[in-house]
Amino acid sequence: MPLIALTSPIAPAAVALLEDAGMRVELPPGRGPEGLYAICAEADALIVRLPLPRDLLDRSPKLRLVARAGVGYDFIPVDRATAIGLPVTNVPGGNAVSVAEHVIAQMMVVSRRLESADRTFRTKGWKAAIEAWDQAVELSGRTIGIVGLGAIGKHVAQIAGLGFGMRVLGMRRGSGALPDHVEPADFDRLFAESDFLLLSCPLTEETRGLASAERMARMKPNAWLINVARGGVVDEPALLRLLHEGRIGGAALDVMNEEPPARDNPLFEAPNLLLTPHWAGMTPASVERTNVAAAEEVLRVMRGERPVNVVNPEVWQHARHAAA
């Protein structure tokens, strides 16, 4: 029976799919990294939900596939996988609805000052809370700039533009056409003209530090930066300086440079900063959807078929599966 290793538990529906196909599905023994090394030394495929040690794949001679149960794969050593002919897959768009709705929720919370209204109501009473009504703004007519118009960015653009009547500016990699309701814009315009600037792009060498001190300094004084990409896309110290100086309206971060952040991380002391623990894409529906899709990729490779979403397609002709 082929052994499918997991870095952490996956949805029961995904486990059932693999077991019904005659696979053994197992978690590493114990909590330390040695358990992961031990199980991967015998595994035929690995489903990933947590960061991998850089040398793990070199110590896993039987692996035929590394399947990311999610979208981002920056914590998988894809270069090492490519060097040894090991395909890596992901599930693009699997959590797009969940992340997009999270982004819209963040915009609604900050535009209507819901947290502040709740806190003032509880501590100072009805009169003090209702007197702050003039701090709320409508999303209709505001501008959202989106860096990264993949599945997540497109869904946000659709909700914001067609649902709320917002002006949508966008930038994407490559030459693909933008949706009809999205106006193309370069970085200078995105940072300067947006009331909400959304980062939903992959973390690559090109996007690392994309939200630099210089670019963020061009933002409107009441604009909000929203990051659901990766922490490394933002110059975090520069963002903190801007927040403490009141140079921008605020920021909503679902991702950070340090995850989980230490309790003394300066993020926790920053004003006008809405923090969530990297859970924008985590609803029961989206987790099951991405886990099942990863399991389906494993089954394809075990049958000798090419998976649907290979992030390093150059290895396929020489992948380990071909000799299996």
- Residue tagged active-site, from 259, 269, 305, 314: 259
Give the tens place of pLDDT for each residue, 133-187: 998 999 999 999 999 999 999 999 999 999 999 999 999 876 567 888 999 999 9
Q: Residues 64, 172, 230, 320: which is the catalytic one?
A: 230
d(CA 69, CA 293): 7
Digit-coded pLDDT (tens) for 13-60: 999 999 999 999 999 998 788 999 999 999 999 999 999 999 999 999
Tens of pLDDT, residue by residue over 259-272, are: 999 999 999 999 99
Judge whether 3-93+284-323 and 96-275 match in fold: yes
CA distance linking residue 170 with residue 194, whole number of Å: 10
Number of H helices, E strands in the chain: 11, 12
* Overall average pLDDT of the 212-229 stretch: 97
> In this predicted model, which residue has the larger pLDDT, 149 or 319?
149
Topology classification of domain 3-93+284-323: Rossmann fold (3.40.50)
Q: From CA 97, how far away is CA 304, in angstroms rounded?
A: 31
The one catalytic residue among 49, 278, 288, 300:
278
Q: Do the Cβ atoms of 28 and 3 come closer than 8 Å?
A: no
CATH of domain 96-275: 3.40.50.720
CA 321 to chain centre: 29
Q: Say whether 230 is catalytic.
A: yes
Give the DSSP per-residue string, 271-310: TTEEE--S-TT--HHHHHHHHHHHHHHHHHHHTTPPPS-B
239 pLDDT band (50/70/90 cuts)? very high
Mapping DSSP onto H, E and C, the string for 191-211 reads HHHCCEEEECCCCCCCCCCCE
Q: Give the count of beta carbons closer than 10 Å to the beta carbon of residue 245.
A: 9
Measured in residues, the chain has a length of 324
Q: Tell me the pTM.
A: 0.87
Residue pair 244/270 in contact by the 8 Å Cβ criterion: yes
Averaged confidence pLDDT in the chain = 94
Q: Is 309's pLDDT higher than 80?
A: yes
Q: Where are the domains of the chain?
A: 3-93+284-323, 96-275
